[in-house]
Amino acid sequence: MIEDGTGLLTIGELAKATGLTVRTIRYWSDEGVLTPVTRSAGGYRLYDAESFARLELIRTLRELGLGLGHVRAVLSGEQTVAEVAAAHVAALDAQIRSLKVTRAVLSTVARRGSTAEEMTLMNKLARLSAAERKRIMEEFVAELFHGLDAVDPAIEERMRSIAVDLPAEPTPEQVDAWVELAELVQDPEFRAQMRRVVEFNSADQGRGAAAGRSTWFPMRLVQLGGEARERGIAPESPEAEAIVREVLGDGDPAAVLERMESASNGQLARYRQLLCEVKGVPPAAAHRAEFAWVVAALRARAAG
């Protein structure tokens, strides 16, 4: 405190009283958030008790991560502390979401051993806007049904409802799943596989199959396969033939086998799993053993 009876403090004295550095206080003063009340005869900046309280508020706001613009708005009365805090919370939320995306991309790069080009693509896919993510999925589904007049409404509705998006607060695992899903649905080979599945469905409808049968039919086969496995029936046995015929009727086992295999490859299974991961729901049961029994039984019938 200068010895003139005014109770004013120099920057050095203010620094000693607050524990801040002279350099920091001088910088805030230069930026106009801590204006000196006057200057000494020698030109030194002087501050009063109100300046001390103001400095404590500045330090608190800065330690909470607020920029000088927000600090200046609070000190000038343009915004309340509550308003600035709310704005800062929103900014922090956005930063946290961005960090989660960054972490997910880097984790995927490390796990895959990706190249620089692959990392760039993953980062781009992960940071797409909600509208862009929706566009990718809608274009994928539109291509699957393009030019097909007869498709089971139950299948079409289910496919058109898959335009999944990341939640507002995605986990790193969900971001990772979305990146892989976006890569998959843009892969020409996978699109061709999915198109073939839809074409099989369209052919069924063209022959007058009942609505919903495309969903029911494979589920019924798998159910029967599970029951047969529990009873110890071998896929190539006469008992298995009777089970298959119960569902197929006079249908061609080779045609049904081709259709079942078209909808059961590894990429399609991964696609379904990724959809569940992005949605944050448990994956549907794969029924791999039951399906394998059905395929083996159909192959035995087709070969015979």
pLDDT in tens, 168-194: 777 778 888 888 888 898 999 889 888
Amino acid at 37: V
4 within domain boundaries: no
**Taking Cα atoms as reference points, which of 126, 123, 211 lies closest to residue 171?**
126
What is the number of structural domains in the chain?
3
Q: Report the range out of 122-131, 205-214, 245-254 with the highest average pLDDT.
A: 122-131
- Residues 209, 217: Cα–Cα separation, whole Å: 11
Both tokens assigned to 56: 């404590």
Q: Are residues 99 and 192 in the same domain?
A: no
Phi, psi values for residue 172, rounded to 5°: -55, -35
Residue 169 sits in the same domain as residue 299: yes
Mean pLDDT score of the chain = 80
Domain that holds residue 87: 82-120
97: in domain: yes
Whether residue 116 lies inside any domain: the answer is yes
The reply to whether 1 falls in a domain is no
Q: Is position 3 within any domain?
A: no
Domain shared by 111 and 160, yes or no? no
Q: Domain check: are 55 and 163 in the same one? A: no
Q: Are 54 and 74 in contact (CB under 8 A)?
A: no
Say whether both 137 and 212 belong to one domain: yes
Does 180 or 224 have the greater pLDDT score? Answer: 180
Q: What is the largest CA-CA distance in the chain?
A: 113
In a domain? residue 288:
yes
Question: Please, which pLDDT band fits residue 93 given cuts at 50, 70 and 90?
Answer: confident
Q: Which of 69, 91, 120 is the last residue of a domain?
A: 120
Instruction: State whether 38 and 62 are in the same domain.
Output: yes
Share of the chain above pLDDT 90, in %: 9
Q: Both 165 and 284 in a single domain?
A: yes
Identify the pLDDT of residue 24.
93
Question: Do the domain assignments include residue 192?
Answer: yes
CA 136 – CA 67 distance, rounded (Å):
37
Q: Is the pLDDT of residue 23 over 90?
A: yes
Confidence of residue 210 (pLDDT cuts 50, 70, 90): very low
Q: Does 255 or 99 have the greater pLDDT score? A: 99
Q: Which of 47, 78, 109 is the last residue of a domain?
A: 78
171, 242: one domain: yes
Q: Could you tell me if 88 and 201 lie in one domain?
A: no
Does 90 lie in the same domain as 72? no
Average pLDDT over residues 211-231: 69
Residue 155 is assigned to a structural domain of this protein = yes
Considering the entire predicted model, what is its pTM? Answer: 0.54
Q: How confident is the model over 28-54, as pLDDT tens digits?
A: 999 989 989 998 888 889 998 888 888
Calculate ∠ Cα 182-284-137, nearest 5°: 20
Compare 200 and 32 and report the one with higher pLDDT: 32
CATH at 34: 1.10.1660.10
| pLDDT grade for 284, boundaries at 50, 70 and 90 | low
User: 148 with 283, same domain?
Assistant: yes
Residues in Cβ contact with 244 at an 8 Å cutoff, skipping those fewer than 6 apart: 221, 224, 253, 294, 297, 298, 301
Is the pLDDT score of 211 beyond 60? Answer: no
- Do 234 and 255 share a domain, yes or no? yes
